Amino acid sequence: MTSPDPQPPLPGAAMTVCGPIDAADLGQTLMHEHLYADFGALAFDDQRVLGDELLTTSDLAEARWDPSAFVSNRRFTDIALVAEELGPLVAAGGRTVVDCTPRPFRNPAALAEISQRAGVHVVMGAGYYIQRHHPDGLADRSAESIADEMIADYADGADGSGIRPGIIGEIGTSATVSDTERRVLMASAWAQKETGLTLSIHLQPWAKQGHSVLDLLLAEGADPTRILLNHVSMDFDDETYQLSLLDRGPTLGFDLFGYDHSMHSHGKYPPSDHDLAMAVVRLGKMGFTDRVILSHDIAVLTRLRKFGGWGFAHVHEHIVPLLLHDGLTERDVEIMLTDNPQRLLTVRSDVRATVPQQA
Residue 101 DSSP one-character state: -
Is 231 annotated in a binding site? The answer is yes
What is the DSSP code (8-state) at residue 128? B
* 34 annotated to bind ligand: yes
How do 227-230 and 251-254 pair as beta strands?
Answer: parallel
Does the annotation list 314 as a binding residue? no
- Between helices 273-285 and 239-246, what is the axis angle to 10°? 50
The answer to whether 73 and 52 are in contact (CB under 8 A) is: no
Give the DSSP per-residue string, 140-197.
Answer: GS-HHHHHHHHHHHHHH-GGGS----SSEEEEE--SS--HHHHHHHHHHHHHHHHH-P
SS3 36: coil
CB 280 within 8 A of CB 256: no
- Spell 179-214 as b/e; 16+ CB within 10 A means b: ebbebbbbbbbbbbbbbbbbbbbbbbbbbbbbeebb
Do 68 and 41 form a contact (C-beta atoms < 8 A)? no
Binding site membership: which residues? 32, 34, 170, 202, 231, 297
Binding site membership for a divalent metal cation: which residues? 32, 34, 170, 202, 231, 297
